[in-house]
Structure 1
Amino acid sequence: MSQVLSMWRSATQLPVVGPVLGARVFSLLFAQKAPYFATIRPRFTEIRPNRAELVIPKRRGVHNHLGTVHAIALCNGLEAAMGALAEATIPADKRWIPKGMEVGYTAKATSDITCVAETDPEQWTDIPDGGGDLPVRVRGVRDDGTVVIEGTIRLWVTPRPAKGPKG
């Protein structure tokens, strides 16, 4: 099991803390791993193989000149969700790196935004031996269910190099 998935399960199953506070603690720790994620203050709500979900709170720090959630803040949320999904899903003998992102902005982001990243299980087993692209479906949804951003983040997935002797 990946370190991210293990941390998520541990944090959200602590009886003393509870799942909500555990998810908040996990979210803070996750944002420290890649500090630019802290700018959107992500609140993860679900992490499992092939799916990750988080909420970007609508607050002044992520507003654009219209008072809606800025397009780049939305992209950061989608990338954070994708990263958690990739870490929770990727086979132990593989590694990944983002290769590109294509998104469309479909409505104003006028509330908190739920960012979702999804893949299908067979995508992770169909990677060629030398590596290949893996598309991750992403979307951001307003509180009323309206999709405000959707698209694909392409990952480059390759075999993990064998660890050599230390020396």
Structure 2
Amino acid sequence: MSSVHALWRTTTNLPVVGPVLGKRVFSLLFGQKAPYFATIRPRFTVLEPNRAELVIPLRRGVKNHIGTLHAIALCNGLEAAMGALAEVTIPADKRWIPKGMDVAYTAKASSDVTCVAETDPEQWTSDEPALDVRVRGTRTDGTVVIEGVIHLWVTPRKKD
């Protein structure tokens, strides 16, 4: 189990704080591990192998000139979801690095946005190093505001 997955399970299973507050604690700690992600103040809601979800709250610090979520804030959210998914999904004998991102902005992000990253289990067991993670962001009314693919390069870990 990766350190990210262990942190998720620990924080969301604390009997004193409960899963709701535990998810907030995880989100804060995840932002400390990768500080740039903290700029969007992600709130993770789901983290399991092959699926991660987080919410980017619409607030002044991530708005653009027309008052919607900035495009790069949306991409930051998608990448945070993808990174968390990769950490809890990848087999222990492999490592990953992002190679690129292809996204389309499909509507104005005029509310909080839920960012989702998804893969299929067989993608992680393939010998093919190229792995595509499907990503999308939706407004609170269900409208997709951004969708695309984040391309990963997955290779065997080097042996010491």
Quickly name the TM-score band, shorter chain normalised: over 0.9
Shift of residue 33, structure 1, vs aligned partner: 1.1
CA distance in 2, matches of 1:97, 1:29: 21
Q: Quote the residue 1:143 is aligned against.
A: 140
Q: Which amino acid aligns with 1:97?
A: I
1:153 aligns with 2:146: no
Q: How does 1:3-152 map to 2 (within 5 A)?
A: 3-128=3-128, 132-152=129-149
Q: Separation in 2 of the partners of 1:83 and 1:127?
A: 20
What's the CA shift for 1:35?
A: 0.8
Deviation at 1:51, TM superposition (A): 0.2
Q: Which runs of 4+ in 1 moved over 4 A?
A: none
AA in 2 matched with 1:145 = G
Give the aligned residue type for 2:135.
V
Residue identity in the other structure for 1:49:
P
Q: CA deviation at 1:127?
A: 2.6
Q: Deviations over 1:103-162 (max 9, x none)?
A: 00000000000000000000001134xxx1100000000000000000000000010011
Whole-angstrom distance in 2 between the partners of 1:17 and 1:135:
36
C-alpha distance in structure 2 between counterparts of 1:61 and 1:149, whole Å: 19
Identity level (%): 79
Deviation string 1:62-83 (CA, Å, 9 cap, x unpaired) is 0000000000000000000000
User: Unmatched 5+ residue regions in structure 2?
Assistant: none
- Paired residues in the alignment total 160
- Residue type of the partner of 2:60? R
Alignment RMSD:
0.6
Ranges in structure 1 where 5+ consecutive residues have no aligned partner: none
Measured after TM superposition, the shift of residue 34 of structure 1 is: 1.1
The structure number with the bigger radius of gyration is 1
**Residue 157 of structure 1 aligns to a residue in which SS?**
strand
